[in-house]
């Protein structure tokens, strides 16, 4: 099991490395926020931890990955919403880089995820007709609003939490899939993201300093982090409850 820690983000093997010129105060502040995010219940949710250890039976696993589809599906569109609330080119570059990564050269991450679902034995029909949980819809609506509404610091706090949380989350999905017996090739979507999420986080880290000068700006950034993690916690609570219900009713 690959554990994500503070050090993962500082490694010089990271997909995007941290800019050593970011000042110490901003660096320490953002490191504290990463630590907070990694320890938050949204990131260490008991359902996800148990999944990483044991995997899930077929039908329950299907629910998990169809909910996850609805969580991921439109993220790059939402991330681009941030471009409408900033006039900082460095920030726009970080956002565009993130979205460009998601879209790929020929295949988008959404395409790769779709192939993953098919390889996992989930049919086109099931993919098309699946209705996601209210918590998952609230996560989508919440992220879309956070990323397209000023102040910029709040949107960026949410995205910063998203990337740090994801870096940890994807390795737990991957561990659960190993338990379920999926081959390394069929887990490609997940191993790819174990590399890129830390880089996405660092890309934001590198452009935030000039927007985190005052206590007020930092407090607004923290608010974005809290709101994002709250939405994520509700997402996991919803999935956990649905899958628990399936076990009780056959």
Give the footprint of Fe ion on this chain (CB under 5 A).
102, 109, 197, 200
Q: Least distance in Å: CB of 193 to Fe ion?
A: 6
Instruction: Indicate the residue among 174 and 243 with the shorter CB distance to Fe ion.
Output: 174
Q: Residue 3: count other Cβ atoms within 10 Å of its Cβ.
A: 9
Nearest one of 237, 235, 242, 45 to 140, comparing CA atoms: 235
Q: Which is nearer to Fe ion, 225 or 243 (CB)?
A: 225
DSSP calls for the chain: -----HHHHH-TTSSSPPPTTS-HHHHHHHHHHHHHHHHSTTTS-HHHHHHHHH---HHHHHHHHHHHHHHHTTHHHHHHHGGGG---HHHHHHHHHHHHHHH-SSS-HHHHHHHHHHHTT--HHHHHH----HHHHHHHHHHHHHHHSS-HHHHHHHHHHHHHHHHHHHHHHHHHHHHTT--TGGGHHHHHHHHHHHHHHHHHHHHHGGG--SHHHHHHHHHHHHHHHHHHHHHHHHHHHHHHHHHHT-
Q: For the CB of residue 107, give the shortest distance to Fe ion in the complex, in Å.
A: 11
CB of 24 to Fe ion, least distance (A): 26
Least distance between Fe ion and beta carbon 197 (Å)? 5
Residue number with CB closer to Fe ion (40 or 240): 40
**Residue 197 or 217 with smaller CB distance to Fe ion:** 197
Q: Which is nearer to Fe ion, 15 or 130 (CB)?
A: 15
Closest approach of Cβ 165 to Fe ion, in Å?
A: 10
Shortest spacing between CB 181 and Fe ion, in angstroms: 24
Least distance in Å: CB of 244 to Fe ion?
A: 29
Structure tokens given for 113: 């995820």
Contacting residues for 122 by C-beta, under 8 A, at least 6 apart: 62, 65, 66
Residue number with CB closer to Fe ion (8 or 243): 8
Residue placing its CB nearer to Fe ion in the complex, 102 or 209 = 102
């Amino acid at each position: 099991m690959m554990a994500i820690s503070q050090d993962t983000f500082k490694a010089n093997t990271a997909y995007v490395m941290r800019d050593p010129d970011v000042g110490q105060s901003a660096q320490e502040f953002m490191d504290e926020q990463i630590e907070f995010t990694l320890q938050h219940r949204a990131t260490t949710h008991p359902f996800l931890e148990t999944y990483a250890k044991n995997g899930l039976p077929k039908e329950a696993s299907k629910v998990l990955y169809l909910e996850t589809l609805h969580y991921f599906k439109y993220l790059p569109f939402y991330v681009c919403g941030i471009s409408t609330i900033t006039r900082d080119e460095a920030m726009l570059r970080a956002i565009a880089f993130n979205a460009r990564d998601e879209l790929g050269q020929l295949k988008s991450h959404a395409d790769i995820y779709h192939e993953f679902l098919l390889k996992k034995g989930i049919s086109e029909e099931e993919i098309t007709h699946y209705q996601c949980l209210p918590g998952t819809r609230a996560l989508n609506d919440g992220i879309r609003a956070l990323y397209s509404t000023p102040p910029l610091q709040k949107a960026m706090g949410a995205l910063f939490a998203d990337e740090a949380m994801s870096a940890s989350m994807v390795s737990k999905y991957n561990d659960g899939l190993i338990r379920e017996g999926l081959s390394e090739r069929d887990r490609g979507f997940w191993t790819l993201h174990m590399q890129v999420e830390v880089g996405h986080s660092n890309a934001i880290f590198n452009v935030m300093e000039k927007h985190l000068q005052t206590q007020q700006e930092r407090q607004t950034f923290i608010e974005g982090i809290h709101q994002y993690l709250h939405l994520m916690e509700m997402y996991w609570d919803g999935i956990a409850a649905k899958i628990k219900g399936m076990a009780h009713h056959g």
